[in-house]
Amino acid sequence: MKFGKQDSGVAGLTVLLSLITMLFVMGLLIMIFALMGGEIIGTDTVTQAYTSGSTAQNGITFTDAGTTLTACNGANQGALSTIAVINASSGATVPASNYTASGCTLTSVGAGSLFNATTVNATYTYTYAGSSYTVMNDTVSGISSVTDWYDIFIVIGAMVVLILLTVIIIGAIRGSGLMAGGISSGNGNVGSA
């Protein structure tokens, strides 16, 4: 089967060039879509579509190393809004001067704090990115991960080129007359094809 004019000495080159062009165009489109998605995810419509959550977390070890608040940290772009901290054993409210709350982390204000190294319970509200952010984030991540398949495309393309070269070499050997065209009849004479 012949697909067009085949110049001698460039067997498989058109397939290889087509593969390289295809990978380049795919990479360009992926980059464009990822950049567009990154711009859309940064717009006010997406980032300001925050939702609020409220929860209680008990048994927190109150230290100056800081403790990550689970529900807040598990949400997309979670951030504390308000927090109330209560000593777990006495039920006394821990004054706000004894801790800092930043992002999703509750931290004691140093070893001098009366409540340092005690167990506390926290009730807090937090904001997190809503469904529009989640959808855009998943889309951009999905588009960006397409490039993980490039090595597979390259290996398959190389296999196609090698198979094409093998077929061309076998055809050239047959055409040169180096291979016998018939089957030996046992008496040393080569049968006619």
Contact in structure between 39 and 140 (CB atoms under 8 Å): no
| pTM of structure | 0.42
Contact in structure between 106 and 119 (CB atoms under 8 Å): no
What pLDDT tens digit does each residue of the chain (193 aa) get?
555 555 555 556 677 778 788 888 888 888 888 888 878 777 766 665 567 778 888 888 777 778 888 888 777 777 888 888 888 888 888 888 878 888 888 887 765 566 667 788 888 888 877 667 777 778 888 887 877 887 888 888 888 888 888 887 887 787 787 766 555 555 555 555 4
Contact in structure between 88 and 58 (CB atoms under 8 Å): yes
Contact in structure between 128 and 76 (CB atoms under 8 Å): yes
| pLDDT attached to residue 156 | 84
Dihedral angle, C-alpha 136, 140, 142, 147, nearest 10 °: 170
| pLDDT attached to residue 193 | 47
